[in-house]
Amino acid sequence: MKLPTLPQGSVIIFLTVIALALFFILSTMAQTVIVQNQIGASELICGWKEIKDRILMADSMGTPLSLEDLEIGSYSQLLRTTTERKEYRALRRIDSSLNLTMTSILLQWSIIRQQIVVIISEHATGVPELLVKYMTSPQVNFFEKNLANFRSYILSYSERQRALFSLQYLFVAAVIILILLLLVGNAFSSREKQLLDRNIRTLTQSLIQILEGERKKIAYDLHDEVIQELASLKMESEAIGEEAEEIAPLLADRMRTLSDRLQAVIKQTRDISLNLRPHDLDHLGLVGGIRALCSDFSRQYGITVQFSATGMDAIKYDFTIAINLYRIVQESLNNTKKHSGASEVSVTLLGASPDIILRIRDNGSGFSPSSILYKPGRGPYQIGITGIRERVRLLSGTFKIVSKEGSGTEIRITVPALEEVAL
C-alpha cells in the first residue's frame, strides 16, 4: 500500500512550527533565568538591609539583641547560594570586574559577620554602641556599595539580554513572514503552472480531437467517394480493353496497363485512408485495433510483430487515450521499419490499475538515446520520437527509451487510466 505524502509546503510549515516552538521554549527558559538572577541580586540587598534595620531599631527602642534575632546564618546561606548559581559563575568567568566584585562581597561579609558576632558576644544586654557605629563604618559602606554594584550589573546584563531576545524575536518573525511569503508565492506560481499545463493539455487534446475528426472525414471521403470512383474507372478501363481486344490490340494493352495502375492507386488510397482513420480502432477497440495494426504491419513489411494484451478488460479509458496509444504504436512501428533494421518486434499492452503500460521492443541496431533526444536537429527519427513524447505528455504519462547500439530498442510508456471497471 502506498503511503500518502505531504505536500512540500505542508512539510515546511510543520518544520517551521516545530522550530518556532523550540525557540519559544528556550527563550522562555532564558527569560526565567534572567528574572531569577534579578531576584537573587535584589534579595542580597534586602537581606542586608533587614539585618541593619533590626540593629538600628533595637538600638532606638533599647531592646536586647541576639545573633538569632539578626538571622546572620540565614543571610550567609543566602549569600553563598546566590553567588554559587551557575549563571553567576558563568558571568564571573567572562567578566573580571564582576568576579572581583563578587569575591570582594564574600570576603567582606566574612569579616563583617565576624565583627558582628564578636561585638554582640561581648555585650550580653542591649545593643552595643560600638555595633551601631560599625554599621556606618567605611568597611560596611564598601560592602553595601559592592552589593549595589552587583545588583546594577545584573540589572544591566538582564536588560541587554532582553534587548537581544527582542532582536531574536524580530528576526524569527521576519524569517516566518519570509517563509510564508515564499510559500504563498510558490503556491500561486505552482497553481498558475498547473493551470497553464492543464490549459495546454486541454488545448492540445482539443486540437488532436479536431485533427482526428478531420482525418476521419477525409478517410471516409476517400473510402466512400474517391476509391469508389477509382474502382468505377478501373472497371470501365477493363471493359474498354475487352471490347478493343480484337479491333485495337494496342489500345487493349494500354487499357490493361491503366487498369493495373488504377488498382495500385486504389490500394495506395485505401492505405492512406486507413492511416488517416484506423477503422479497426473504431470497430474493434484499443486492443483489437492494435492487434490488427501489428498483424497488417507484419504482413505488409515482413517483420514479425508479437502482440500481447493483459488486464485491459479491467481498465477504463476514453477515445483520447485509445487514439494516442494507437498512434504511438503506429509511429514506433514506422520508426522500426525505417531506421532499426529489426526482424522482430514485440508490443505489450498491460492494464495495471491505475495505469496502462505500453512496451515496444525490437531487435534492431539500437542507438544512443541522448543523441536523438537531446541533440539539436530535426531528423525524421527525432521528429517521430518527439511526437511520441508529446502524446505521452498529453496523457500525463511517463516516457522512457532504453537502447544501446547493437542491442535493440525498448520504449516504455505508462499513462494513467480513467478508473478501474468493477467486475
Residue range 243-256: mean pLDDT, rounded: 79
Average pLDDT over residues 384-397: 85
Q: Judge whether residue 142 has pLDDT over 70.
A: yes
Residue 191 has pLDDT above 70, yes or no: yes
| Rounded Cα–Cα distance for residues 132 and 76 (Å) | 20
Out of 147-161, 214-228, 247-261, 306-320, give the one with best mean pLDDT: 306-320
Question: 392-421: per-residue pLDDT in tens?
Answer: 988 889 999 988 887 889 999 999 987 554
| Number of helices followed by number of strands (H, E) in the chain | 13, 7
- Nearest Cα residue to 282 out of 243, 323, 310, 249: 323
pLDDT of 6 > 50? The answer is no
As a whole number of angstroms, the distance between CA 296 and CA 361 comes to 18
Pick the CATH number of 285-420 from 3.30.70.580, 3.30.565.10, 1.10.260.40, 3.40.50.300: 3.30.565.10
Q: What is the pLDDT of residue 349?
A: 94
pLDDT of residue 263: 85
- Predicted confidence at residue 269, as pLDDT, reads 79
Contact 381, 339 (CB under 8 A): yes
Confidence at residue 33, expressed as pLDDT on a 0 to 100 scale: 63
In the predicted structure, residue 38 carries a pLDDT above the cut 60: yes
Asked if pLDDT for residue 388 goes beyond 80, the answer is yes
Percentage of the chain with pLDDT > 70? 81
Q: Which residue has the higher pLDDT, 306 or 340?
A: 306
- At 382, the pLDDT band (50, 70, 90 cuts) reads low
Domain limits, the chain: 8-190, 285-420
Query: What are the backbone angles phi and psi of residue 414, rounded to the nearest 5°?
Result: -130, 125
Most confident option among 100-104, 331-335, 367-371, 415-419:
331-335
Q: Which of 63-67, 96-100, 206-210, 253-257 has the largest mean confidence?
A: 253-257
What mean pLDDT is reported for the chain? 78
Instruction: List C-alpha distances in Å: 247 to 35, 233, 238, 241, 292.
Output: 129, 21, 15, 10, 47
pLDDT in tens, 77-118: 887 877 777 767 767 676 777 777 788 888 888 888 888 888
Alpha carbons within 13 angstroms on the beta-carbon side of residue 109 total: 25
> Distance between CA atoms of 217 and 223, rounded to whole angstroms?
10
What pLDDT does residue 421 have? 45
All cell numbers assigned to 45: 540587598
Average pLDDT over residues 127-152: 83
Q: pTM of the full predicted structure?
A: 0.49
Position 360 scores a pLDDT of 94
